[in-house]
Amino acid sequence: MIWYPYEQMKTMKAPYKILDAEGVYLYTKDQKLIDSVSSWWCMIHGYKHPELTAAIKAQADHFCHVMLGGLTHDPVEKLSAKLQEFLPGDLDYCFFSDSGSVAVEVSLKMALQYNTNQGRKRPLVLALEHAYHGDTFKAMEVGDDEDYHFAFDQKEGVMHIPTEIPALEEAFAKYHDRLNCFIVEPLLQGAGGMRMYDIGFLQRARELCDQYDVLLIFDEVATGFGRTGHRFVADLVLPDILVLGKALTGGYIGHAVTVANHKVFQAFYSDDDRKALMHGPTFMGNALACAVALKGIEIFERENYMAKIQRIEEISRREMADFTDPRIREVRIMGGCTCVEVYDSADLEGFQQFAYERGVFSRPFLKYMYSMVPYVIEEEELVKIFDVMKAWFRR
C-alpha cells in the first residue's frame, strides 16, 4: 500500500487518480483539471511536452543512467556547461543530486567544510523563520564511517531570524565568527506560507556575508527558473552557493544541483584528499534528467518564458485587484505565484473538492490557498483559476 506524503493515513480522503496529462491539464476518469500548482511547482512547461518527452526517449535509447563515480557522459557535461553560461556570476561548479533536499544538504556540507578546510571552526548556520529547505533528516549521522564524516564533526546548530534587516544585523554582530553560512529561500518562502519579502534584505545580507566571510546560500529550488518574476533571484543578488531543483528538469524527473562559485570550489581544490567533498548520490547526474533539463532550459530561453511570467503576474494582479473578504488576511502576488492567506485554516476546508468540481486542481495547505501555475498557461485558464478561488468566498 502507498504511504502518502504529509497525510494522516487514517483520515485522508482518497487522492484523485490521474489517467493522463497534457499541457496544463490533468485528466481523471470524470474530470479535466487545470493544474494550478504545477505538480508541487515543478511542471513549468506543462505535461507531455513533445520536445521534453522526445529528449528523454532519445537518451533512453542510449542509456538511462550511469554512475558519476569514475564515469561521465555527454548529457551531464553539456548540462553543467549550459548552467555555467546560464547562471549569473561565477556560479560555475555544478554538483548534481537527485532531489532538492539532498542538494540543500550538499550546500550545507560545502559551507561547513569550506571553513574546516581552511582550519576555521564555524559551527553555526543562520536561516530564516518560516524557512523550508526540504525533508531529509539524519542519514549521514546514523552512518558509521569516519572517512565520510570527519569534515562535518563541528556542526552545532541553526539560528533563525525574521526577514528584517535589524535582526539580520544583530545576528551578524553577535555570531559572525561562528557562522559558516546564511541560507535563505530568496524573496519568496514557499512551503512556509508563500511569504514574500524585499530584495533590500538580501542586499544587506550580501554585504554582511562579504564583510565576515560567511557564505550566502540561495535555496532557489522553488524560486529558480522565473517563479518570482526574475529568472533567478541570484540575478539580482549573487550568492556563493545556489541550489536548484523542481523546475530544473521541467518536473519530468527528480533532479537538483548545488552550484558553487570559485571561492567555494577553491577551498576544496587541493593535493590533500581530506579536503575533497565527501558526497555522492547514487543517481547524481542521471542521464535522462540531464537530457530533459537541457531541453527545458533551451525552451525556457527560446520561448521567452520571462515574458510569459510577466504576463501571468499582470493577469494575476488584474484578477485579484480589490478582491477582499472578511476571512482573508492578505492576497500576495509575486511573478508566477499568488497566495490568498486566510485567518483560519478551517475556511479552506473543502476548497480542494470545490475546485475539482469546477475543473481546477488545487492543494491549499494550512491557511494558504495559492497558485503556482505552469508558465504555458493561457489567459482564460489562468482567469478560471482565480474565478474558482473567488467563487469559494462568494458561495
Ligand X SMILES: *Cc1c(COP(=O)(O)O)cnc(C)c1O
Binding site for ligand X (CB under 6 A): 99-101, 104, 132-134, 185, 190-191, 219, 221-222, 245-246
- Min CB(223)–ligand X separation in Å: 7
Task: Give me the torsion for CA of 335, 92, 133, 365, rounded to 10°.
Answer: 30
- Min CB(112)–ligand X separation in Å: 18
H-type alpha helices, 9-150: 38-41, 50-60, 74-86, 100-116, 139-142, 146-149
Question: Which residues are 216's β-sheet partners?
Answer: 182
Residue of closest CB approach to ligand X: 100
Q: Of the candidates 186, 74, 78, which has an alpha carbon nearest to the alpha carbon of residue 127? A: 186
- Min CB(219)–ligand X separation in Å: 5
- Min CB(371)–ligand X separation in Å: 15
Distance CA 180, CA 120 (A): 9
Residue 74, all three cell numbers? 555527454
| Residue 7: how many other CB atoms lie within 10 Å | 11
Catalytically annotated residues: 6, 132, 219, 246
Q: What are phi and psi of 21, to 5 degrees?
A: -155, 140
CA end-to-end distance (rounded Å), the chain? 37
Residue 341, CA distances (Å) to 190, 330, 363, 367, 385 in order: 13, 5, 13, 6, 16
Question: Which residues are 95's β-sheet partners?
Answer: 258
H-type alpha helices, the chain: 38-41, 50-60, 74-86, 100-116, 139-142, 146-149, 165-175, 199-212, 262-266, 287-302, 305-320, 351-357, 379-394
Sign of CA dihedral 235, 218, 289, 80: positive
* CB-nearer residue toward ligand X: 6 or 142: 6
Residue 309, all three cell numbers? 511570467
- In this structure, the strands spanning 179-184 and 215-219 are parallel
* CB-nearer residue toward ligand X: 199 or 328: 199
* CB-nearer residue toward ligand X: 131 or 342: 131
- Min CB(134)–ligand X separation in Å: 4
* CB-nearer residue toward ligand X: 37 or 222: 222
- Min CB(350)–ligand X separation in Å: 26
